Copies of this chain bind each other. A is one copy, B any other.
Amino acid sequence: MYEFEKVRDFTNNVFLKMGCSASDAELATKVLVSADLRGIDSHGVARLIGYVRLWETGRINSTPNIKLVHETPSTGVIDGDSGLGLVVAPKAMETVIKKAKNVGSGWISVKNSNHYGIAGYHAMMALEHDMIGMSMTNASPLVAPTFSTERMLGTNPIAVAIPADKQPPFVADFATTTAANGKLEILQRKGEEAPMGWIQNKEGHQTTNAHELKEGGALLPLGGDRVHSSHKGFCLGSIVDIFSAVFSGANYGPWVPPFVSFLPMPEDPVGEGIGHFFGAMRIDGFRPAEEFKLHMDTWIQRFREAKSAEGMPDVVIPGDPERLSEIERLKNGIPLNDKVVLDLKEVAKKFELSF
C-alpha cells in the first residue's frame, strides 16, 4: 500500500519536471490520481510512464495553448494544442459548465488532445453546479465492429453524472466494450483466461486467451456477439467516436493515434490528436433543482431496494463502488502492483526524484 499523499505528490512533481505550469501540474495530478482513488487502477499512476514517454517523443505538449476555436451560445470546439488530456479535459468541462449557466446547456467537442484519465472525473465536475455532466472520449483502436476482424474503435467510454439530494450522485462511467482493456491487462499479467465474449482472435473467433489480443485479436463491443446485440455496443462506440472526433476535427476510427510511444503514428491522419466530447445540462433548465434531486433520491432508493436474486448481492447504483473505494483508499492507501512500482521508479530516476 502506498500513501495517497505520496503518490499524489510524486505525480505532481513528475508533471512539473515535464514542464507543466504549477496549476496545470496540480490539475493533471488531481485527475490522474482520482482513478487510483476510485479503484480504476488501469487509468491512474499506472499510466504515468506512458504520458512521460509520449512527452519525450514530442507527442505531448506540456505548455499547450488551449483555445476555443468555434462556438455558438451552447456548443463549440476546443483545440487542445497536443496538451495532456488530463488538463485539456477539465478546462473543456469548465467551458460547458459556463455555457450551461448562460443558456441551459453546454456541449464541447475537443480535438488535438491526448488520453484524459477517467471519463467520470470530468462528468462529475458538473455536480456541484446542480448540473448533469457528460464526458466521452475516443481512444486507440482495439475493438472490432460486429462481423469484422479489424480493430476500428477504441474502448470509447461514456460517463454521465447526475446529482441527488441525500443520496450520493448517480455516476455511470463505462467502456462501450464487454470488458475494459484494463481488465485484460490484469489477466495477461496474471496469465489467467478471459471469459468467452470479451475478446476475439485474429480470425474473428471468440477466445479465452487474453494474449491473443496482442496477436491481431480485438476487444468485442458491449454485447459480445451478434446474437447478444454486439451491434449495439458498436453503435455506442461509434457515436462516441463521431461526437468526439468528427465533430471536432480529431482523428477517428482506425486513425486514432496510439497511447504508447513505441507504436508509430498512423499514416495519413484524418484529423489532429484524439477527441473528447463534454456536456452539461442545468437541472433547473428542466425543473426546479430541489424537486429533481428529491425525485433522484426516490429513484436511487427504489433501485437500492429492488429484490435480489437468491445468492446475489444488492443492486449496485452506478458510482457506489468507486465512491466506497475512494473513502477506503484515502484512509488505507493505494495498492500498486510491482510492474507499476518499477515504472514509477524508472520515472523517478529519469527526473532525479525519489519514489
Enumerate chain A interface residues (CB-CB to B < 8 A): 70-77, 103-105, 107, 109, 144-150, 152, 160, 162, 170, 172, 174-179, 195, 197-198, 200, 203-205, 222-224, 227-229, 231-236, 238-239, 241-242, 246-249, 252-254, 270-271, 281-283, 285-287, 292, 295-296, 298-299, 302-303, 306-310, 312-316, 318
Are B239 and A160 touching (Cβ within 8 A)?
Answer: yes
B residues in contact with A162, CB < 8 Å:
239, 242
Q: What residues on B are CB-neighbors of A249 within 8 Å?
A: 287
Cα(A152)–Cα(B258), bound, Å: 40
Q: Contact: A174 with B235, CB < 8 Å?
A: yes
When distances are taken between beta carbons in the complex, the residues of chain B under 8 Å from A228 are: 178, 195, 197-198, 224, 228
Is the pair A312, B105 in contact by a Cβ cutoff of 8 Å?
no
* A231 CA to B107 CA, complexed, in Å: 26
Report the Cα distance A250→B241, complex, angstroms: 32
Nearest CB in chain B: distance from A340 CB, A = 25
With A247-B292, A248-B286 as contacts: A104 and B222 at CB distance below 8 Å? no
Q: Contact at B235–A172, with CB atoms within 8 Å?
A: yes
Cβ-defined contact, A204 with B147, below 8 A: no
Q: Are B239 and A233 in contact (CB under 8 A)?
A: no
A286 contact set on B, CB distance < 8 A: 70, 75-77, 109, 247-248
Cβ–Cβ contact B150 & A306, under 8 A: yes
Question: Complex Cα distance A270/B298, Å?
Answer: 9
CB distance from A106 to the nearest CB of B (A): 8
Cβ contacts under 8 Å, A232 to chain B: 174-176, 222
Q: How far is the CB of A296 from chain B (nearest CB, A)?
A: 6
Q: A103-B103, A223-B223, A253-B302 are in contact. List 4 more A-B contacts (CB 8 A).
A: A75-B104, A105-B105, A145-B315, A247-B292
- Kindly state the separation between the CA atoms of A72 and B289 in the bound complex, as whole angstroms: 14
- The answer for the CA separation of A175 and B236 in the assembled complex, in Å, is 12
A292 closest partner in B (C-beta): B246
Contact present for A231 and B149 (CB under 8 Å): no
